[in-house]
Amino acid sequence: MASVFDAAILAQCSRYWMRMALVVDMTRAHEHGRVVTEADLAVAIAALVAEGRLEAEGDPADPSACLVRLPG
């Protein structure tokens, strides 16, 4: 299911592994004037992983221990 945050999240990701918590923080920093919770972004990232639009190493339910990257 698409999230209003998908484009913002994907814009912060690369083909290199990054801590999911860092992606969450960077996305929040770029959403000026918009109330964005860490929980909302974590759910959106987990959905992107489930859809295959992001790859994850670790459990997306634990953003501090999970790594994410763009596929490819």
Question: What is the value of pTM for the model shown?
Answer: 0.90
Query: What average pLDDT does the segment 47-61 reach?
Result: 96
- Residue 36: inside a domain: yes
Q: What is the pLDDT of residue 33?
A: 73
Query: What average pLDDT does the segment 54-70 reach?
Result: 96
- Residue 1: inside a domain: no
Q: What is the pLDDT of residue 1?
A: 58
What's the number of domains the chain is made of? 1
CB 14 within 8 A of CB 69: yes
- Tens of pLDDT along 11-36? 999 999 999 999 999 999 887 777 88
CA atoms within 13 A on the CB side of 45: 38
Taking the C-alpha atoms of residue 66 and residue 32, their distance in angstroms, rounded to an integer, is 25
Taking the C-alpha atoms of residue 62 and residue 33, their distance in angstroms, rounded to an integer, is 26
CATH number of domain containing 47: 1.10.10
Domain containing 42 equals 6-69
Instruction: List, in order, residues 6 or more apart from 49 with CB less than 8 Å away.
Output: 55, 56, 60, 68
